[in-house]
Amino acid sequence: MRIAQLAPLAESVPPKLYGGTERVIAWLVDALVELGHDVTLFASGDSKTTGRLHAVWPRALRLGRRGVDPSAACALLIEAIAGRAREFDVIHSHVDWLPLPVLSRTGVPFLTTMHGRLDLPGLSDVIGAFPQAPFVSISENQRRPLPQANWVATISHGLPKGLFRPSFESGSYLAFLGRLTAEKGPEAAIRIARVVRMPLRIAAKTPRAETAYFKKKLEPEIDGEEIKLIGEVDEVRKQPFLAGAAALLFPIDWPEPFGLVMIEAMACGTPVIAYRSGSVPEVVEDGVTGFIVDGEEQAIEAIEKAVSLDRRKVRARFEERFVASRMAREYEDRYRELVACR
């Protein structure tokens, strides 16, 4: 099939540092190409892909030139696919709502994977305006706020089987990986680590809007020894960071749509201790790949149990459930269904 993939322009595909959605898109495109499909990626010009790249904007917006209007770049993305739509058998958008008016009028089968939270005001009105538009959720929990949408599948993320090398040795510290925002739970991670007297290593970015939060709530707790901030990590540095951890702490306080870091940890053989929120019960198998907990007290109790888990089993369950080839085949099935119904 001839498949178009529309990516957000905030980060390159794959991202240089932080960026879950763009990373998943990169893995999906590569896996689809391996399956023999002709894939064109509409993304920033600094993206790298085994498919064909249609560069919509010269450089990813977050790490590129300051002051660029994101809506201007997105307008060019929409115009690019509008002009080339008839070249494809199916169009797969990862850009939420903005392309829907155009995609609904091209006459070309399309679907949209929703990567973010869907419990925000006004989204039901958008769904009502596009009742026939097909959507894919990345967890069953994610779609709950919008049951009336035309959901055609839930497809969990997957990453390349050989991307991360697992470690089957007990780790020496606790890991936190993600954005330094209150909803991701870095304060809880620090408190948990201090109670169990284990070092905590934090690999994360601080969004510009969260600078005050970081300065007030986190910076005073980061001593550079027991609680150490590493900063953003790329794919190369992420593997040893996760593989060397005794467990990944995922003490979220929001309806996490998926939580890519959980399966990245599992790929390294590292168990996950996660709060029972959002997609967590769909990703973590309690007592097998980690522990699902309700608050700090249970998280503290789970640390010792997590250390005793079989890290080979953690890795095996990752291979069975969360590899990119499985993800690509599931999307391939949806594409074929859409084309057949045209």
Give yes or no for residue 328 having a pLDDT over 80.
Answer: yes
Q: What whole-number distance in Å separates Cα of residue 94 and Cα of residue 155?
A: 13
Same domain, 26 and 91: yes
Q: Is the pLDDT of residue 26 over 70?
A: yes
Kindly state whether residue 194 falls inside one of the protein's structural domains.
Answer: yes
Is 165 within the bounds of a domain?
A: no
Residues 121, 212, single domain; the answer is no
Q: How confident is the model at residue 260 (pLDDT cuts 50, 70, 90)?
A: very high
The total number of structural domains in the chain stands at 2
Q: What percent of the chain has pLDDT over 70?
A: 98
Provide the b/e sequence for 299-311 (b: ≥16 CB within 10 Å): bbebbeebeebeb
Indicate if 66 and 182 belong to the same structural domain.
no
- State yes or no: pLDDT of 197 exceeds 80: yes
* Same domain, yes or no: 52 and 178: no
Most confident range (mean pLDDT) of 17-26, 154-163, 211-220 is: 154-163
The span from the CA of 152 to the CA of 258, in Å, is 17
**Amino acid (one-letter) located at 98:** L
Question: pLDDT tens across 76-91, in order?
Answer: 999 999 999 999 999 9
**Are both 16 and 150 inside the same structural domain?**
yes
Q: What mean pLDDT, rounded, does the chain reach?
A: 95
pLDDT at 65 over 70: no
User: Residue 61 in contact with residue 73, Cβ under 8 Å?
Assistant: yes
Question: Does one domain contain both 103 and 226?
Answer: no
pLDDT digit string, tens, across residues 231-258? 888 888 999 999 999 999 999 999 999 9
Question: Is 166 domain-assigned?
Answer: no
Contact assessment for residue 248 and residue 167, using Cβ atoms and an 8 Å cutoff: no
In a domain, 168, yes or no: no
Q: How confident is the model at residue 209 (pLDDT cuts 50, 70, 90)?
A: confident
Integer CA distances (angstroms), 33 to 30, 41, 50, 322, in order: 5, 11, 7, 18
Q: Is 80 exceeded by the pLDDT of residue 51?
A: yes
Same domain (yes/no): 230, 85: no
145 within some domain: yes
Instruction: Give residue 233's pLDDT.
Output: 87
Domain span at residue 97? 2-160+323-340
Q: Are residues 232 and 150 in the same domain?
A: no
Asked which of 73-82, 129-138, 217-226 is least confident by mean pLDDT, the reply is: 217-226
184 shares its domain with 316: yes
pTM equals 0.94
Same domain, 9 and 130: yes
Residues 95-123 have pLDDT tens digits of 999 999 999 999 999 999 999 999 999 99
**How confident is residue 316, by pLDDT bands cut at 50, 70 and 90?**
very high
* pLDDT (mean) for 33-41: 98
- Same domain for 154 and 22, yes or no, is yes
